Amino acid sequence: MKTNRVKLIFVGGFLGAGKTTLLQQASALLAAGGRSVGLITNDQADALVDTHLLTKQNSMTREISGSCFCCNYEGFAGVLSELAGRHTAPDVIIAEPVGSCTDISATLLQPLKSQMQAVIELAPFTVLADPEKLERILDGDPADLHPSAAYIYRKQLEESDRILISKTDTIRPERLQVLTEKVKLAFPDHEVGTISARRGTGVKEWLDQVLQGTVSGSRIAAIDYDVYAEGEAVLGWLNASVLLQGTAVDWDRFLENYFHRLNALLGSPAGIGHIKILIEGMGDRYCIGNQTGAGHTLQFRNSAGISNIAQMTINARVEADPAALEQMVFAALAQSAEGGLFYEIRQCRSLRPGYPRPTHRYSHVVS
């Protein structure tokens, strides 16, 4: 076991803010600098696209599924101890909480400071916010979210140590400057930064700052748990894993067609938290599609190539009844499979997140 404490970085922020993309970039940068990295993902159910993606790059990736970190503190602490206790323990661990989760300072950071100081050293708690939603939220608009989900968005910003405006490549520099000033005005005691994980801009600077920073969980937000619970419960949550089989299928085109059909069934774009779909073809080939709101947010990356068999992992967080969401997800699959493609649903879990009941909730900041 290492004698030095392992640095633990939490990267929070609402669904689709860019957390996993930052984890990928940051861990690659750390690895290139000779530092080993452990990653911890979190979801309400297993078959998480993020875990599949991160595992491709980093074998020290762990997933806590079935509940958020806060409601399974012991599970999270157990994974931390396992990683930190390895013969080849990582130098840095980066953890990504569920995007609809808040009150992380009171329920995770304070207990960790109090109970695991011997093992880990907490970095400043960063919350990512994508410019489009952030701009609207700051203007008092719910940004196509249910008002209680917008409440969670605001609370995530409020409880953080560091607000990081993400996806800066999607906004003009002058607008970014105004937005940054607005954030500083709304949160005068927070550190505020900007980043484009896609372009790599600001990733090194952010890493240097959080690795040097020693103050974490510097504030606890007042959270109305009934509103928080409602903000989570309006989201239907679906994780599914599907085996696809056909003849020389172009999986990238299949994925585009699938999104097209699913959007047609979903109708109004309002209420899409994040739909992320991974298709893994032969060898290491994969493609991924992400949609974090209206149609213009849909992005495709990589290529799964052409083959006969592929594995599809579907994660959808949409303001819809879970049963209705499941029905639409599979109706779109049935439509996309017309013309000789077979599919087998290997696993499917659809749910409405339950009332958040954290293991611990500290009312004071632990020094």
Ligand X SMILES: Nc1nc2c(ncn2[C@@H]2O[C@H](COP(=O)(O)OP(=O)(O)OP(=O)(O)O)[C@@H](O)[C@H]2O)c(=O)[nH]1
Interacting residues toward ligand X by CB under 6 A: 13, 15-21, 50, 99, 166-167, 169-170, 196-198, 274, 276, 290, 292, 299
Q: From the list Mg ion, ligand X, none, which binds 196 (C-beta under 5 to 8 Å, kind-based)?
A: ligand X
Distance CA 62, CA 54 (A): 9
The 8-class DSSP code of residue 124 comes to P
Q: Binders of Mg ion: how many residues, by CB under 5 A?
A: 3
Residue 134, binding choice from ligand X, Mg ion, none, Cβ under 5 to 8 Å by partner class: none
Report the residue from 8, 17, 20, 68 that binds Mg ion according to the rule CB under 5 A: 20
Q: Which of 246, 317, 268, 259 is nearest to 288 (CA)?
A: 259
Tokens standing for residue 331: 């109706």
C-beta of 119 vs 272, nearer to Mg ion:
272
Cβ closer to ligand X: 21 or 105? 21
User: Pick from ligand X, Mg ion, none: which does 198 bind, CB < 5 to 8 A by kind?
Assistant: ligand X
Task: Output the CA torsion sign for 308, 314, 320, 325.
Answer: positive
The one of Mg ion, ligand X, none whose footprint includes residue 217, by CB under 5 to 8 A per kind, is none
19 binds Mg ion (CB under 5 A): yes
Residue with Cβ nearer ligand X (156 or 218): 156
Measuring CA to CA, which residue among 148, 348, 152 is closest to residue 234?
A: 148
3-class DSSP assignment, residue 203: helix
Site for Mg ion contains 50 (CB under 5 A): yes
**Rounded least distance, CB 197 to ligand X, Å:** 4
Nearest approach, Cβ of residue 239 and Mg ion (Å): 13
- Shortest separation between residue 101's beta carbon and Mg ion, angstroms: 12
Side-chain half-sphere CA neighbours of 19 within 13 A: 30
Q: Is the dihedral of CA 264, 266, 272, 277 positive or negative?
A: negative
Q: How many Cα atoms sit within 13 Å of 148 on the Cβ side?
A: 14
* Segment 172 to 211, residues that bind Mg ion, using CB under 5 A: none
State the DSSP code for 24.
H
Find, among 129, 207, 131, 220, the residue nearest to 175 by Cα: 131
Beta bridge partners of 350: 238
Ranked by CB distance to Mg ion, the top (closest) residue is 20
The DSSP-derived string for 281-292 is -STT-EEEEEE-
Residue 44 binding result from ligand X, Mg ion, none, given CB thresholds of 5 to 8 Å by partner type:
none
User: Considering beta carbons, is residue 251 or 259 the nearer one to ligand X?
Assistant: 259
Question: What minimum distance in Å lies between the beta carbon of 336 and ligand X?
Answer: 20
Span near Mg ion by CB under 5 A; candidates 24-32, 42-50, 147-155, 237-245: 42-50
354: which residues sit within 8 A by CB, 6+ positions away?
233
Compare residues 116 and 134 and give the one whose CB is closer to Mg ion. Answer: 134
Q: Which of ligand X, Mg ion, none sits in contact with 204, Cβ below 5 to 8 A by type?
A: none
